[in-house]
């Protein structure tokens, strides 16, 4: 490490992190302080555009969930469910209560999988003073083995519920193409019961780790419901005010910046946060009692304005999702699943193709995925082909808030910490949002001449 990186300078700072590590995708952190003035503070998303919204145009609404699940390898189930819900909204289809129950179970499974990955693989190395999980395999082998065991449990949930771990294939508009096997559900139930002990051990471990102390109140947006800790459905809530999902375009405004391929979103002209901490702050009273107990043990109180504690909120949600999943599985194993009302064809019958006239319509939907509120919206024509599509990704919505956090954090650290220490805290701050950068890339407006 060079002397300049270890030098405390209260007037000048240059941070240039190219390819932030331990996040999904490629992003840069660029900060420039000259003579005490913060002249640049950017989180640059440098991934190539993905073109998914353009690819959807002209495709049948019945295949949209299979295409959009490819947007992300981590939130594939969330994208699939948001797509299915938007398609059903456009077509006027209402799934059965059992289908909704199975969708919630799948969403919980993905939340369990992603949260434990972020806690142990992406964040823990920072809190333990190492650069990656690799040194921890030698120094904390039993913990790493436990983390992988917890992840295998949720991986199996995706396999038994949706046909495979990522990019689900059996969840479609109106229902499922096949029922999950009872044998698989029994195995998943037993794995989840065994995971309770691993969850308790994880709480003990996280409780011993020290997160950076940083406070910046912001706007927190999430789904909310009077009936449950909203993840699959509900109204949108921000600053205590509710609005319908269909009105999301009126609630926040997206804009393009010239240094990033991820859009910046604002509500009331200011940045806002989505994700586990936002859900925790907005819906704490609806958490499972065991999750509330974990929050108390970790010292996490709503509202929390420390973005680094998004990781602690993820652990609280991990416990909530585990307990809710166990409750659903107990009901299914007791009552069974009836094929009628659940199993549907993924496409209209071949004999009906081209003969059915649909009502041209626009449908929208939102589900909570590990990183926050995910929106899909499709407009269809009378043959149910998509004529317009819009996908709003949680990481897009968090980018402006992350930059505002950085703008407050840098002056607080300047003159107190070295350049390398400030750089690490900025990297940790970005990682605390659990950004899924590949999901976040959008096509910029381009004029061909």
Question: pLDDT (tens digit, 9 = 90+) per residue, 409-449?
Answer: 999 999 999 999 999 999 999 999 998 877 766 554 444 44
Question: 72 vs 2, which has greater pLDDT?
Answer: 72
Contact partners, residue 296, CB within 8 Å, separation at least 6: none
Q: What string of H, E and C letters represents the secondary structure of 347-383?
A: CCCHHHCCCCCCCCEEEEEEEEECCEEEEEEEEECCC
Q: Residues of the chain with pLDDT > 70: what percent?
A: 97
Mean pLDDT for all residues in the chain: 93
| The predicted structure's pLDDT at residue 2 | 57
| The predicted structure's pLDDT at residue 446 | 44
Confidence of residue 262 (pLDDT cuts 50, 70, 90): confident
| The predicted structure's pLDDT at residue 427 | 94
Contact partners, residue 423, CB within 8 Å, separation at least 6: 5, 15, 17, 29
| The predicted structure's pLDDT at residue 274 | 98
Strand-pair partners of 221: 238
Confidence of residue 3 (pLDDT cuts 50, 70, 90): low
| The predicted structure's pLDDT at residue 50 | 81
Checking if the pLDDT of 403 tops 70, the result is yes
Nearest to 176 by CA among 106, 227, 226: 106
Checking if the pLDDT of 115 tops 50, the result is yes
Lowest mean pLDDT among 29-33, 119-123, 180-184, 256-260: 256-260
pLDDT in tens, 131-190: 999 999 999 999 999 999 999 999 999 999 998 878 889 999 999 999 999 999 999 999
| The predicted structure's pLDDT at residue 146 | 97
| The predicted structure's pLDDT at residue 75 | 85
Question: 261 vs 424, which has greater pLDDT?
Answer: 424
Checking if the pLDDT of 284 tops 70, the result is yes
Contact partners, residue 146, CB within 8 Å, separation at least 6: 198, 201, 202
| The predicted structure's pLDDT at residue 444 | 47
Nearest to 325 by CA among 106, 153, 97: 106
> Mean pLDDT, to the nearest integer, of 93-113?
97
Q: Could you identify the residue written with the tokens 């003073």? A: 129
Lowest mean pLDDT among 6-15, 52-61, 148-157: 6-15
Confidence of residue 350 (pLDDT cuts 50, 70, 90): confident
> Mean pLDDT, to the nearest integer, of 84-92?
98
Checking if the pLDDT of 37 tops 90, the result is yes
Confidence of residue 280 (pLDDT cuts 50, 70, 90): very high
Are the C-beta atoms of 56 and 67 separated by less than 8 Å? yes
| The predicted structure's pLDDT at residue 51 | 85
Sort strands 272-273 and 219-224 into parallel, antiparallel or unpaired.
parallel
Nearest to 160 by CA among 102, 117, 116: 102
| The predicted structure's pLDDT at residue 442 | 56
């Amino acid at each position: 490490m060079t002397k300049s990186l270890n030098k405390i300078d209260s007037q000048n700072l240059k941070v240039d992190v190219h390819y932030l590590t331990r996040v999904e995708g490629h992003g840069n952190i660029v900060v420039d302080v000259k003579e005490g003035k913060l002249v640049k503070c950017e989180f640059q998303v440098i991934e190539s555009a993905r073109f998914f919204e353009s690819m959807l145009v002209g495709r049948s609404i019945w295949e949209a969930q299979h295409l959009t699940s490819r947007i992300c390898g981590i939130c594939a189930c969330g994208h699939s469910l948001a797509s299915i819900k938007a398609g059903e909204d456009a077509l006027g289809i209402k799934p059965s209560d059992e289908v909704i129950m199975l969708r919630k179970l799948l969403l919980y499974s993905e939340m369990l999988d992603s949260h434990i990955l972020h806690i142990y693989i992406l964040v823990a190395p920072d809190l333990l003073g190492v650069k990656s999980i690799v040194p921890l395999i030698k120094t904390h082998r039993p913990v790493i083995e436990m983390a992988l065991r917890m992840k295998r449990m949720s991986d199996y949930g995706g396999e038994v519920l949706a046909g495979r771990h990522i990019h689900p294939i059996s969840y479609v508009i109106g229902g499922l193409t096949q029922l999950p096997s009872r044998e698989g559900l029994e195995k998943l139930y037993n794995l989840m019961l065994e995971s309770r002990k691993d969850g308790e051990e994880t709480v003990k471990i996280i409780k011993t780790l020290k997160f950076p102390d940083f406070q910046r109140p912001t706007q927190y947006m999430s789904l909310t419901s009077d009936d449950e800790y909203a993840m699959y459905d509900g109204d949108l809530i921000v600053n205590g005010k509710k609005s319908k999902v269909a009105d999301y375009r009126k609630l926040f405004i997206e804009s393009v910046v010239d240094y990033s391929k991820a859009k910046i979103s604002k509500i009331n002209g200011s940045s806002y946060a989505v994700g586990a901490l936002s859900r925790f702050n907005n819906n704490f009273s609806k958490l499972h009692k065991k999750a509330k107990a974990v929050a108390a043990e970790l010292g996490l109180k709503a509202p929390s304005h420390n973005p680094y504690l998004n990781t602690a909120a993820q652990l609280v949600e991990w416990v909530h999702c585990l307990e809710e999943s166990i409750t659903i599985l107990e009901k299914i194993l007791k009552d069974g699943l009836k094929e009628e009302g659940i199993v549907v064809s993924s496409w209209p019958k071949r004999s009906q193709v081209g003969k059915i006239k649909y009502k041209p319509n626009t449908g929208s939907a939102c589900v909570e995925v590990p990183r926050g509120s995910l929106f899909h919206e499709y407009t269809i024509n009378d043959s149910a082909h998509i004529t317009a599509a819009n996908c709003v990704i949680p990481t897009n919505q968090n980018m402006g808030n992350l930059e505002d956090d950085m703008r407050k954090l840098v002056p607080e650290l300047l003159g107190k910490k070295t350049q390398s220490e400030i750089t690490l805290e900025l990297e940790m701050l970005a990682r605390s949002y659990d950004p899924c950068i590949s999901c976040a890339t959008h096509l910029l407006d381009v004029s061909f001449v």
